Amino acid sequence: MNFFKMLTSNYLINIGFLSCFTAQLIKTFLTFISTKTLVTERLVGSGGMPSSHSALVCSLVVGMARKVGFESPEFALSLMFAVIVMYDAMGVRRAAGEQAKVLNTMIFGFLKVSFNQDDDDDDQMSEVASGLPNKALKEYIGHTPIEVLGGALLGILIAIIIPVI
């Protein structure tokens, strides 16, 4: 059996990929609806509604339950993995995004103030500003609880709809 056929015939890989891909498509569509602009970064970007990470891990949990049962070690492992991923999305990654917003405001506010001054310190300020990042930190990397719930429900639904092979 070749590697590609093995991957495409694996039920858990199929539902995980389908859940993640579907979440990214929905995320891109919702961004298009709200901004009237096609933001292709949403096809691969993290953050937003629904959480593709939550969709993927929840589809694996349900798929594992259907394939090997609720009492299996594989189900327990997939459930614990899902809890960690969803907790991280709402906690650590969301906090990092909030910190990025504050840092971007501070850095670009500093640059704006620095370059609008009319004193002799412009060269010194330019030197200081040259050590700062020239692009904004990514702010949208985590999820709200609703976004995680949306992804979780999507993953569960896909794992229930797609028949076990």
Give pLDDT, residue 25: 96
Give pLDDT, residue 7: 78
83-113 per-position pLDDT tens digit: 999 998 887 766 676 777 777 777 777 666 6
- Considering the entire predicted model, what is its pTM? 0.73
Q: Cα–Cα distance between 165 and 162 in angstroms, integer?
A: 9
What are the Cα distances from residue 74, in Å, to 31, 47, 60, 130?
A: 36, 28, 10, 51
Token readout for 67 is 């394939």
47-61 per-position pLDDT tens digit: 888 999 999 999 999
Q: What pLDDT band is residue 3 in, cutting at 50, 70 and 90?
A: confident
